[in-house]
Structure 1
């Protein structure tokens, strides 16, 4: 007769733990996670919902993590729309009525607690980033395995934004400059969309490796200000799309030295012009299509200059190069720590327990615009 009230009180306590609207997570407690979810592909403003669910304590090889910062990339938007090659896993594990997925491929987490079989070198308080795509980073808490994470052993001198954004834009630039054309110090590469996240990263990595860069941007009223900004990052030359079409102007820039590598993020006429700029045996690498237009390579460039055309996708590369990716991340974070690598333009949206769906959707809507100019980043507050 005395046990029934005790059982009821215990059940009531468990219910409060599971449903409380606090961020609470220890080895002995539950974490309350808030996340954006979608159960079907479509326009983000039509399919995204704000959802809450509870995460149990970790066990065996499970790691509980708290998200600190989660960027909003164009690929994330495309994935929600269903037009991106990488498709997320739709699951009932989030506690939603329909099978759902959490968007977001890039993010910085803090280790909260670990199961008994997790490598003892991984401890609460450490930082980590996602090792690959499709984890679902637009949320406040999650459970992961060691294979999902790349640990950041030393976070000294690195901001959350810098760590959260290291695995897509800087990494894409790093690989394209390193893996194609065999560039040596003093040699040229050319790129369009030079003021994009990848473009700014390529300028800075090129400078660190002793490369010369020709950086093409769209014609705009504030072009002088933008040119000055990109040159300050280490760009050798910054020119407009119109200037890039002038063969005499290009010859004057290079002094007749061949351009061996071109990085294309735009497509259309801009990409075709890159092929014309390349020298003999040059390599044209396409990693984006901001104009959403196809491009043609002149027959003369293929026949008489033996131009090589490639595509590059950092997600596919990452799946096959775990060790090389970890070393690359260490290199980039080292440059950041030494003050050799500057942040991309960004704007943050604070995500707390009280943040409403409408607030979270604002940067997502801005991210739909390919030319928004600043990367949106969710910054989670640990209430």
Structure 2
């Protein structure tokens, strides 16, 4: 998900491109302590990096997304931590913000074999520090973006390959085997992961019930999600109405909903869980409300509900380079063929 962060203009709302027409000193958005992004982030001109040698690769960033997790990392409320840097010209160790990004290879060391000048790359190392104009990375830090010269893959799509689309794919395929025509119910449906879930589910022949907050322009939002492939869209208030259960039963033909996806937490997820059927799975991958997840004991006793947590970073930790490269290739195919379109906020 892209989001707004109100910090100096160097960090824009969705994606910041550092492309320039003349040579300028490298810059990065850094912090030396945890706190609110508006309080602790600063823009720093970096020392000129040395030419790459050995297994090093010199990179120039094209786009760097701003995800909610990036803000949590800066606040110190996220388990994945960036490494402190002592080469930024600061009096004390500092961190470069940013987890995802798309960069172009500018030069390589003599031991580098996986990429060459001009290649697009994304990042294999969590919390690499992508809110920068350029960097020197190790060959193991990056993943080449495989694409043909006539590929329709955009820079925005490539820059967002490592977090939201793979999360959506995993949520739909790793916890329960669903047959075409079965329903998935999810909250936070207008988030970047939620939108990817809609599109991938549609491709898999699954149907989706999508929950969003009521807001100004809600009908327009519902229309946008349906254009992506959403079958049904409800607000949480609509889901809480007395007629909602009959409405959902009519949509599903009385068949149980066996997969629920949660990125919100709190009372809205409690409500959504009540619509899950026998032997269903509820998968949580976020907690945007910052409220605890509270579920009735009856769902576990009488419906045999199973709850899971999913973290894409853990998947990367548990899988090697070959699996990661295959995942990226599969996602690129989905984007090039129009199955998944990245929607910027």
TM-score relative to the length of structure 2: 0.89
Give, in whole Å, the separation in 1 of the partners of 2:137 and 2:306. 40
CA contact (8 A) 2:200 2:339 kept: no
- Summarize deviations over 1:127-153 as a string: whole Å, max 9, x none: 011113110000011011121111112
| Residue 317 of structure 1: how far off its partner (Å) | 1.4
Q: Match for 1:127 among 120, 125, 135?
A: 120
CA distance in 2, matches of 1:56, 1:197: 37
Give the equivalent residue in structure 1 for 2:215: 220
Q: In terms of Rg, which structure is larger?
A: 1
- After TM superposition, list the pairs within 5 Å mapping 1:65-76 onto structure 2: 65-76=59-70
Specify the SS of the correspondent of 1:54: coil
The Cα of 1:326 is off from its aligned counterpart by: 2.1
Which residue number in structure 2 is paired with residue 272 of structure 1? 270
Contact 1:65–1:113 under 8 Å retained in 2: yes
Whether contact under 8 Å (2:60, 2:133) holds in the other structure is yes
On the 8 A contact 1:132/1:318 being kept in 2, the answer is: no
Mean alpha-carbon deviation: is it higher for 325-334 or for 77-86?
325-334
Once the two structures are superposed, what CA deviation does each residue of 1:183-224 show, in whole Å capped at 9, x if it has no partner? 222211110010110000000010111111111111223222
Question: In 1, distance between residues paired with 2:158 and 2:21?
Answer: 26
> Residue 300 of structure 1 aligns to a residue in which SS?
helix
Structure 1 partner of 2:26: 33
Do structure 1's residue 112 and structure 2's residue 110 form an aligned pair?
A: no
Query: Deviations 1:270-296 (Å, cap 9, x if unpaired)?
Result: 111222111111010111111111121
Q: 1:97 aligns to what?
A: 91
Indicate the residue corresponding to 1:260 in structure 2: 258
CA 1:134–1:332 in 2, change beyond 3 Å: closer, same or farther? same
| TM-aligned CA deviation for residue 324 of structure 1 | 2.8
CA contact (8 A) 1:244 1:250 kept: no
Runs (4+) of structure 1 moved beyond 6 Å? none
> Which stretches in structure 2 are left out of the alignment for 5+ residues?
1-19
Aligned residue in 2 for 1:305: 303
| Farther off after superposition, 214-223 or 125-134 | 214-223
1:198 and 2:193 aligned:
yes
Among 53, 73, 77, which residue is 1:79 paired with?
A: 73
Instruction: Write the distance in 2 (CA, Å) between the matches of 1:158 and 1:212.
Output: 27
Q: Is the 8 A contact 2:60 2:105 kept in 1?
A: yes
Conserved 8 A contact 1:132-1:319: no
1:236-255 maps to which residues of 2 (within 5 A)? 236-245=231-240, 246-255=244-253
Displacement of 1:309 in angstroms is 0.7
Deviations 1:337-365 (A, max 9, x none): 12232221x2xxxxxxxxxxxxxxxxxxx
Q: 1:221 to 1:36 in 2, by over 3 A?
A: closer
SS at match of 1:116: coil
How far residue 46 of structure 1 moved from its aligned partner, in angstroms, is: 1.6
- Asked if the contact 1:243/1:249 (under 8 Å) is kept, the reply is no
Show CA shifts across 1:48-74 (max 9, x none): 111122110000110101100000011
1:22 shift after superposition: 9.2
1:32 CA drift (Å): 3.8
1:23 Cα shift?
Answer: 6.5
Greater CA drift, 193-202 or 179-188? 179-188
How much does 1:168 deviate?
A: 1.1
Cα distance in structure 2, aligned partners of 1:317 and 1:329: 13
More helix by share: 1
2:204 matched residue in structure 1: 209
Change in Cα spacing, 1:22 to 1:57, as seen in structure 2 (3 Å) is farther
Please provide the CA RMSD for this pair.
1.6
Q: State the secondary structure of the residue aligned to 1:243.
A: helix
Match of 2:40 in 1: 47
Shift in CA distance, 166/66, structure 1 to aligned 2, threshold 3 Å: same
